Amino acid sequence: MNTPDWLADAVFYQIFPERFANGDPALDPPGVEPWSAEPTRDNFFGGDLAGITEHLDHIESLGANAIYLTPIFEADTNHRYDAKDYFAIDHRLGDLSAFRRFVDAAHARGIRIVLDAVFNHCGDGHWAFRDVVEKEAASEYVNWFSVENFPVTPHPEPNYRTCSGCYYLPKWNAYNPEVRDHHYRVAKYWIDQGIDGWRLDVPYFINDNFWRGFRDVVKGADENLYIVAEEWREPEQWLQGDLADGTMNYTLRDLVLGFIADRTIDAEQFARGMNDLTARVPEAARPAMLNLLGSHDTERLVTRHGDDIAATKLSYALLAMAEGAPMIYYGDEVGLRGDNDPECRGTMPWDRTLWNHDLLNYLTDLLAVRAEHPALRRGSQRVVAITPDVVSLVRTAATGETVTLVVNRGDEPFPLGSLKGEAIWGHRDEVAPRAIVILTGGGGES
C-alpha cells in the first residue's frame, strides 16, 4: 500500500462552498438570502469559489494545509450532491477559470485540494437521465440507470433506483462499462485541473471492482493523489491497498465525543477503543485516516458539547494530537453553532466580533504544536487511562521523541506536577478541572 507521504503532515479544512464566503455577488442566484439568515435545505446565500480564494489566509493562519470541498459541479441544490454535469463548475460558484485561480492560489500557499466524488448517484437534472425520461427505452443511456418501466415516474415512489429512496437522486448503474468510463473520465479530468485527491461519497453503495478501477485511474495519474472513503462504521474494507488510502474516521469521532461531550464512556473505555482502532487500521493507512469531529452531516461541534467551550477544547486537543490527519469543519474553529442538517450548514460569519477567539486561538496553538513535533505527525500512538476522567495520548517517533497529551474531563483537579518531562504547551502548575498539558521526552528534532 503506497500512502502519499504528505498526509502525515496534513491538516484538513472542510468547506461547504455555498456557505463559506460570497466573493462574486454577480453570481448570486435569484432570491439569494442575506448572509446571516437561517439556513434551510433549499435556500442559497451566494457562497462561491472566489469567496474561498479570498479567505485562504484564514485557512492558512489556522494551520490547515489541505481543503476538502463538498461538491462543486453543476447541480440544482445548494449541497450539489445532485450533479447535472460533472465536467462543469456550478454557475453559481464560478467557472473553470475561477476554479483554476482557486487551485493556483491554494497551491501557492502549500494548500492541497480534495474534491467530492459523488458517483453512486446524480441529480434528476443530469443530461443522461433527462434523455432517458424523454426517450424512454429508446434512449442510448437507458442502461446507465435502473428503470423498472416507463414512463419514468418520481412520485409517489420512484420507479427507478435512487440513493436512499430520494427521487431526485437517480442511482448510476455502475456495472455498465459506459458509466464506469464516464466516471473515470471525470476523475482524470479534475486531476488534470490540478486537484490533489478525491473523497468518495457513500462508496459502500457501489461494488468494490468499480473502486479498484477508480484507484487505478487516480494512482495511474499520480501516486501522491489521496483517496479517502466515507465510512461511518468499519474501516477495514477500504484499507487493504486496493481501494482507498484512508477513511473518514467517524469511529474516532464517536470515541472522542463519547468520552468528552456525552460522557457515555470513561477513560478506560476510551483508551481501549482508541487502541483497538489503531490495531484495526493497517500501519501504512494510519497517516491517511481523516480524523473529524464535525462535518456537513453532523451537528456543529460546540452545539454537540452543549455550548461548553472548555469541553470543546478538550475534544480538539484529542483530535489535533491523534494519529491521522485532523479535519476542521468550517466555522467550528470560531464557535459556529447549529444542529444537524440544515443548521450545520450555516454561513461562515466573517464579522470577527462574532467569533470565539479563545477557541480559535486554542485550536491554532494546538495545530502549531503538532506542526513543530515529528512525533505528533509521524509517531506511533498509545492511549492510557490514568483515572476514570483522565487519559494520556502518547506519540513516539522513530527518532525517540515522545510527546504526551494529558486530558482531564473531570471536575477534580489532576496533579500535573507529578508528570515527568518538559512542558511544551500548557502550564505545569495548572490544577484546574479539565486541565490539559503536553509533555515531551526523549530525543528527536522538534
pLDDT in tens, 293-307: 999 999 999 999 999
What is the DSSP code (8-state) at residue 121? B
Which residues, 6 or more positions from 250, have their beta carbon under 8 angstroms from its beta carbon? Answer: 231, 232, 233, 292
**Which residue among 317, 351, 372 closes a domain?**
372
Is residue 249 within 8 Å of 232, Cβ to Cβ? no
- CB neighbours of residue 26 within 10 Å: 7
Q: With pLDDT > 70 as the criterion, what percentage of the chain qualifies? A: 93
Note whether 368 and 379 are same-domain residues: no
pLDDT greater than 50 at residue 324: yes
Q: Quick check: is 73 in a domain? A: yes
pLDDT tens readout for residues 108-132: 999 999 999 999 999 999 999 999 9
257: left (phi over 0), alpha (psi -120 to 50) or beta: alpha
Mean pLDDT in the chain? 94
Note whether 321 and 441 are same-domain residues: no
pLDDT tens readout for residues 326-367: 999 999 999 999 999 999 999 999 999 999 999 999 999 999
pLDDT greater than 50 at residue 428: no
pLDDT tens readout for residues 182-234: 999 999 999 999 999 999 999 999 999 999 999 999 999 999 999 999 999 89
Grid coordinates belonging to 435 = 486541565
pLDDT of residue 414: 74
Note whether 270 and 294 are same-domain residues: yes
pLDDT of residue 444: 43
Question: Cell 487500521 appears where?
Answer: 281
Note whether 193 and 318 are same-domain residues: yes
- Alpha-carbon distance of 245 to 235, in angstroms, equals 11
pLDDT of residue 427: 46
Q: How confident is the model at residue 252 (pLDDT cuts 50, 70, 90)?
A: very high
Q: Quick check: is 236 in a domain? A: yes
Which residues, 6 or more positions from 106, have their beta carbon under 8 angstroms from its beta carbon? Answer: 53, 56, 67, 112, 113
Note whether 316 and 261 are same-domain residues: yes
> pTM here?
0.95
Number of domains in the chain: 2
Q: What is the DSSP string of 290-331?
A: EEES--TTS--HHHHTTT-HHHHHHHHHHHHHSSSEEEEETT
Is residue 400 within 8 Å of 442, Cβ to Cβ? yes
Q: Quick check: is 353 in a domain? A: yes
- Alpha-carbon distance of 329 to 345, in angstroms, equals 10
Q: How confident is the model at residue 147 (pLDDT cuts 50, 70, 90)?
A: very high
Give the CATH number for residue 48. Answer: 3.20.20.80
- CB neighbours of residue 94 within 10 Å: 24
User: Where in the sequence is the domain holding 395, given as residue range(s)?
Assistant: 375-446
Note whether 412 and 330 are same-domain residues: no
> 3-state DSSP: the chain helix, strand, coil percent, rounded to 5?
40, 20, 45
Is residue 184 within 8 Å of 192, Cβ to Cβ? no
* Beta bridge mates, 325: 290
pLDDT tens readout for residues 370-385: 999 999 999 999 999 9
Is residue 53 within 8 Å of 116, Cβ to Cβ? no
Q: Quick check: is 211 in a domain? A: yes
Note whether 443 and 305 are same-domain residues: no
- Alpha-carbon distance of 100 to 106, in angstroms, equals 10
pLDDT tens readout for residues 29-52: 999 999 999 999 999 999 999 999
Q: Quick check: is 80 in a domain? A: yes
**Which residue among 372, 394, 429 closes a domain?**
372
Note whether 235 and 313 are same-domain residues: yes
Which residues, 6 or more positions from 340, have their beta carbon under 8 angstroms from its beta carbon? Answer: 297, 298, 299
Q: Quick check: is 352 in a domain? A: yes
Q: Quick check: is 140 in a domain? A: no
pLDDT of residue 429: 45
Q: How confident is the model at residue 434 (pLDDT cuts 50, 70, 90)?
A: low
Name residue 410's amino acid. G
Q: How far is C-alpha 336 from the geometric centre of its chain's CA atoms?
A: 17
Note whether 325 and 428 are same-domain residues: no
- Alpha-carbon distance of 319 to 134, in angstroms, equals 50
Note whether 419 and 387 are same-domain residues: yes
- Alpha-carbon distance of 72 to 250, in angstroms, equals 24
pLDDT greater than 50 at residue 55: yes
Note whether 346 and 394 are same-domain residues: no
Q: Quick check: is 27 in a domain? A: yes
Residue 286: burial class (beta carbons within 10 Å; 0-12, 13-18, 19+)? buried
Note whether 293 and 428 are same-domain residues: no
- Alpha-carbon distance of 188 to 192, in angstroms, equals 6
**Which residue among 340, 372, 404 closes a domain?**
372
pLDDT of residue 436: 62
The H or E element spanning position 74 is: strand 73-75
- Alpha-carbon distance of 383 to 392, in angstroms, equals 6
Q: How many CA atoms lie within 13 Å of 414's alpha carbon, on the beta-carbon side?
A: 22
More confident residue, 414 or 288: 288
Is residue 32 within 8 Å of 45, Cβ to Cβ? yes
Which residues are designated catalytic? Answer: 201, 230
pLDDT of residue 412: 81
Nearest of 17, 189, 221 to residue 102 by alpha carbon: 17
pLDDT of residue 413: 77
* Beta bridge mates, 393: 383, 405
